[in-house]
């Protein structure tokens, strides 16, 4: 008998904990709530709100959590909502996070529940759209909260539901997002031991989950280059200094940092200029130009190299053409780092929920996610949920007007997040 016990203990140590299939009562409640989760998703999609302005979104979330009898905290990081669910048995604290903000994108797909909301963003009229799928994240986590609130007897510890605003970044001049939630104590009282999050993906088939251990998504920097020249008549460029020409040369130079100076065999990196502002009239060479863009890196040393070389290059190129240029930096996210031990621990849960064949190992992406700030404080695991209709060969990317998610993908999200919470606390 002692020998058998020793062998069993050794096997547990070598392969880690094993997980049972989903409890039939929990599974039944998840399946019964699917239509409600989809209805919530349609509501949030039709009523999107930008970062730090998610007032009505937060009210609906808070009302739902309060109806479940939870302790509810509001106004965290401006519009964030937190629900605390205590299980019937003592144990650790696990956090589940969903982001709740939309984007300044004008929707143009054919969804019957598409957004018609408009607003002014950075002095421009624009539509507002859940063009990244955060509406599905909110609805999934609201569903998880309702299911787990009915099964407190299966919870060994506490579940903290974090509904986070401003994942896409707060408006200029404001604080927001995960960083501000952490600053205001969202991972404290009770102290969180581990955190989990998911992101719907329009290019991954429904029923599939993708993951990666370690570095998963990129550190994201926002940069602003201010170029100064000398204004003159468009017919006599030799009498001035053209900041638009200088901007073009700087953009071209930036790309050589990626193609000729960055060791891309180590990790991927991207420099993108997304906005240029200059001039007021066709026949005037303006005095100044402004460029706004982003840098994406997965390696700290490459991040340092690229930022240093961009700063040097902007000034040097402008000087060569008779102007000046300065660059300002703002960090938006750090590397989304999935704790390897936690990832390995929870992989059997995802396999049990979705089926082993539906769990796929992925490569790192150059997208960014401020869930990464939570992972700097506590171990975290962030995975991707399929939202593409099977057989679709041309899915529309995130952050685009035609972006779509198949409602059929939400059910697996509820199952995965529910079971992740139960199994983490149980083991």
CA-to-CA distance for 300 and 297, rounded, in angstroms?
7
Q: Is 101 a catalytic residue?
A: yes
Instruction: Name the catalytic one among 29, 49, 54, 101.
Output: 101
Task: List b or e across 264-296, with b for residues whose CB sees 16 or more CB atoms inside 10 angstroms.
Answer: eeebbbbbebeebebbeeeeebbbbbebbbbbb
CA-to-CA distance for 187 and 181, rounded, in angstroms?
8
CA-to-CA distance for 32 and 35, rounded, in angstroms?
7
Burial of residue 361 (number of CB atoms within 10 Å: 0-12, 13-18, 19+): exposed
Instruction: Name the catalytic one among 29, 107, 146, 167.
Output: 167
Q: Is 167 a catalytic residue?
A: yes
Task: Please report, for residues 38, 343, 357, 414, 423, the alpha-carbon distance to residue 408 in angstroms, rounded to integers and kept in the order given.
Answer: 9, 25, 18, 11, 24
User: First-to-last CA distance in the chain?
Assistant: 25
Question: What is the Cβ-side half-sphere exposure of residue 84, based on CA atoms within 13 angstroms?
Answer: 16
Contacts 24+ apart (CB under 8 A), 70-73: 70/145, 70/149, 70/161
CA-to-CA distance for 319 and 253, rounded, in angstroms?
14
**Residue 235, token pair as written in the block:** 């017919």
Task: List b or e across 132-153, with b for residues whose CB sees 16 or more CB atoms inside 10 angstroms.
Answer: bbbbbbbbbbbbbbbbbbebee
Active site amino acids: 101, 167
């Amino acid at each position: 008998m002692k020998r058998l016990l020793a062998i069993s203990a050794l096997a547990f140590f070598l392969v880690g904990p094993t997980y049972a299939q989903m409890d039939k009562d929990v599974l039944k409640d998840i399946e019964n709530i699917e239509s409600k989760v989809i209805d919530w998703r349609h509501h949030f999609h039709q009523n999107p709100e930008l970062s730090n302005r998610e007032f009505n979104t937060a009210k609906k979330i808070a009302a739902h959590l309060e109806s479940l009898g939870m302790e509810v905290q509001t106004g965290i990081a401006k519009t964030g909502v937190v629900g605390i669910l205590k299980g019937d048995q003592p144990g650790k604290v696990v956090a589940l996070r969903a982001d709740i903000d939309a984007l300044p994108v004008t929707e143009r797909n054919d969804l019957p529940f598409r957004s018609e909301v408009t607003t002014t963003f950075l002095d421009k009229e624009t539509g507002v759209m859940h063009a990244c799928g955060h509406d599905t994240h909110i609805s999934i986590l609201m569903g998880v909260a309702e299911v787990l609130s009915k099964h407190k007897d299966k919870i060994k510890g506490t579940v903290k539901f974090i509904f986070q605003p401003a994942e896409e970044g707060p408006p200029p001049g404001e604080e927001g997002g995960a960083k501000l939630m952490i600053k205001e104590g969202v991972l404290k009282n009770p102290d969180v031991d581990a955190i989990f999050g998911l992101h719907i993906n329009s290019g991954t088939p429904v029923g599939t989950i993708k993951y990666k251990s370690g570095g998963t998504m990129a550190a994201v920097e926002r940069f602003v280059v201010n170029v100064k020249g000398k204004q003159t008549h468009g017919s006599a460029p030799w009498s001035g200094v053209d900041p638009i020409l200088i901007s073009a040369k700087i953009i071209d130079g930036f790309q050589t940092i990626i193609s000729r100076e960055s060791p891309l065999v180590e990790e991927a990196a991207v420099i993108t200029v997304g906005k240029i502002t200059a001039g007021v009239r066709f026949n005037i060479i303006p005095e100044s130009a402004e460029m706004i863009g982003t840098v994406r890196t997965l390696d700290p040393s490459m991040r340092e190299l690229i930022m240093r070389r961009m700063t040097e290059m902007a000034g040097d190129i402008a000087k060569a053409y008779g102007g000046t240029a300065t660059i300002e930096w703002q960090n938006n996210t750090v590397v989304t780092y999935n704790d390897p031990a936690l990832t390995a621990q929870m992989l059997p849960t995802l396999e049990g929920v979705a089926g082993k064949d539906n769990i796929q190992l992925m490569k790192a992406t150059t997208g960014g996610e401020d869930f990464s700030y939570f992972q700097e404080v506590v171990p975290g695991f962030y995975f991707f949920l399929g939202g593409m209709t099977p057989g679709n060969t041309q899915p529309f990317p995130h952050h685009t007007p035609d972006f779509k998610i198949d409602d059929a993908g939400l059910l697996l999200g509820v199952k995965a997040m529910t079971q992740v919470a139960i199994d983490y606390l149980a083991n």
